[in-house]
Structure 1
Amino acid sequence: MAALPGVEPLRLVRDRSDRLVIQVRLDGRPAWLKLFCGTEPAASVRQAEARLHAAALALGQDLDAVAPPLLALPEQGILITAPAPGRPVAELLAEAGKAERAALIARMGAWLRQLAAPTRARGRFGPRFWLNGLEARIAAASGGWIDGDLVAGHMRRMRSEAELLRGAAVERGLCHGDLTPDNLFADTPRPGVLRLTAIDMQGCTVMALARDMARLLVWLESRREQPPARVRDGIALPDWLALTGVPGLLAPDQAPILRFLIGELMLAYYLDSARQPLRRRALVRAMRAWAAQEGTVRPVP
């Protein structure tokens, strides 16, 4: 990367095939630089910047916020964003008791509700899209650690439930795209008031709200060290209730779609866990619990 006026690189944080993430100072202020490395980096920068502005407009940038863009250089494939204030919610969850954990999960759900509010609409659910994604992952996966029987059984159940969900009414809205406690930061701008600020929103798009919710729930479950006492769709019941209980976040008739997408993400995370044996063990436990439950799927009228 060529030297940029006013930009002082500090450390490389992420090195992926599609982008680099570098901690920098921009005119003396802390910032994050993303260098897009795909086939069309200029288009990627413009799209990411537009999505960040759309998210900021929807959130209002008060107690629900996104780290905004500071500088876009499309022809160089560079987007620089402000840092998020506070600490990752993942760190707060690690320290939280039961009541605090439930409150943090609900607060993340309220952030998503605010993000989606201006674009909420009902459409028709297409489970084939998600099955196709899983089939591609399975075809690309390799390694002796993969339990072929587990994967095949999970896919059979997924296909069975997909038949009942084809064309079901689905709630859509603007979503983060990677809603995890690593990508939300919390601080208290006023005593007793928690602000959440999101990062890594270049995948922000309108889709099924249940997908962002499922990602959050599966992320939480995949990091659970001990089996939960009670589960719903393979997720610890208190976590499931804390998120689905957020008023106005998701209608009750969306529970079968949420269940389906929980199953989809469990398998997707499992297939990505080659170097994460502890996480994989939690996912195997959750996948078996998901399959063992009848769930709430019913034929679509």
Structure 2
Amino acid sequence: MSDDWLLALAEAGVAAPNVQAEVAAALHDDLQIEECLKARRGVVIYRASLRGRRLIVKQGVPNAAEVLQEMRAARLRMAGGPNDVVAPVVAVNDILVMDEAPGQPMQLALDDLGPGDTRNARMARVGDWALSYTGGNYDTGVFGKTYWFRKRSEEIAKARVAEEMRGALQNVMAWLERHAERIAGAPVTKGTVHGDLTPMNLHLDDKDILWGFDVGTGPRMPIARDLARFMVTWARSSNLPDGLGLEEAMALARPVLRDDELTTLLPFFLGEQIAGRLAEQMPDGVRARRIQQMAVTLMETYP
């Protein structure tokens, strides 16, 4: 798959008939691919239909069968309440087919609201979704000071970091190392997490049901990391007064984390996620300035 997005979309369009035929054969039914929604980093997402049922076809998922099983397990854990996961349909080779999520992305549902209690309550809904996703199967461990810092450092070492972003990135990594030292041994809530919790991977429908999709294979890890990923992804696409939305971050995390994690684990993983964004962000544009402002806000708030 080409890195050039226009070429990648064109290639996805050429491949669509073969993908459609492969899925239709697995379903023994007449699935129709209607359009390509996205083609990036080797993953292609199509919108499709099957006898009036709106579907998403995702190609480029190497562990598609495992993800399908995790989606089924998550739906059982969440028990069809106000928090849910879209229904998976079939997995064939590296293709995963699922229902299209109803409603609007949480990115829009949050941006439609100004700062204040209403938006904070909606943030708390996301935290409640993350807690529901664990199925109550979470426990408290101990934070080790080296693993996550080393993991992020190794990823950055392989990245092509824009020269203009290096100063901010170095500052954040130095802060991360100091903060990890300070909170070593702190309690950490671990559980089954989404793995890529972002405002575009949750939809809120008109019945106030929050739908998740694009889940991973159900890894157990610090829940604070999934929440930090959601927060940083939202903040880089939203115009927040402090750049990071710390008030909203607290609203997001309170339903899930221990009180002491709000000032220990959550800031650490916010920094870890900001570092990842700095390493991949091109230096020009609004997003670059927002991510740099996030870093400043975080380090000034938790010196």
Greater Cα shift, 250-259 or 140-149? 140-149
Secondary structure of the corresponding residue to residue 190 of structure 2: strand
Q: Distance in 1 between matches of 2:110 and 2:37?
A: 23
After TM superposition, the score normalised by the length of structure 2 is 0.83
Aligned length: 277
Where is the strand percentage greater, Structure 1 or Structure 2? 1
Structure 2, unpaired ranges of 5+: 1-17
Shift of 1:265: 0.3
AA of the residue aligned to 1:269? R
Distance 1:143 1:259, change over 3 A: closer
What do the CA deviations read for 1:269-291 (whole angstroms, capped 9, x no partner)?
Answer: 12222277211101101101212
Match of 1:263, as an amino acid? G
Aligned to 1:65: 84
RMSD over aligned Cα atoms = 2.2
Residues 1-301 of structure 1 mapped to structure 2, 5 A cutoff: 1-2=18-19, 3=21, 4=24, 5-36=29-60, 41=62, 44-73=63-92, 76-98=93-115, 99-142=117-160, 144-189=162-207, 194-228=208-242, 235-246=244-255, 249-255=256-262, 256-274=264-282, 277-294=285-302
Distance 2:261 2:268 in 1: 10
Residue 58 of structure 1 and its aligned partner are, at CA, apart by 1.6
Is contact 1:145-1:274 (8 Å) kept? Answer: no
Question: What amino acid is the match of 1:47?
Answer: E
Q: Mind listing any 5+ residue stretches in structure 1 that lack a counterpart? A: 229-233, 296-301
Code of the aligned partner of 1:270: L
TM score, norm. by length of structure 1: 0.84
Secondary structure of the structure 2 residue equivalent to 1:188: coil
CA distance in 1 between partners of 2:206 and 2:301 (Å): 40
Aligned-pair identity (%): 26
Taking the aligned partners of 1:292 and 1:95, their CA distance within structure 2 comes to 28
C-alpha distance 120-140 of structure 1, shift in aligned 2 (>3 A): same
Distance 1:277 1:213, change over 3 A: same
CA contact (8 A) 1:6 1:28 kept: no
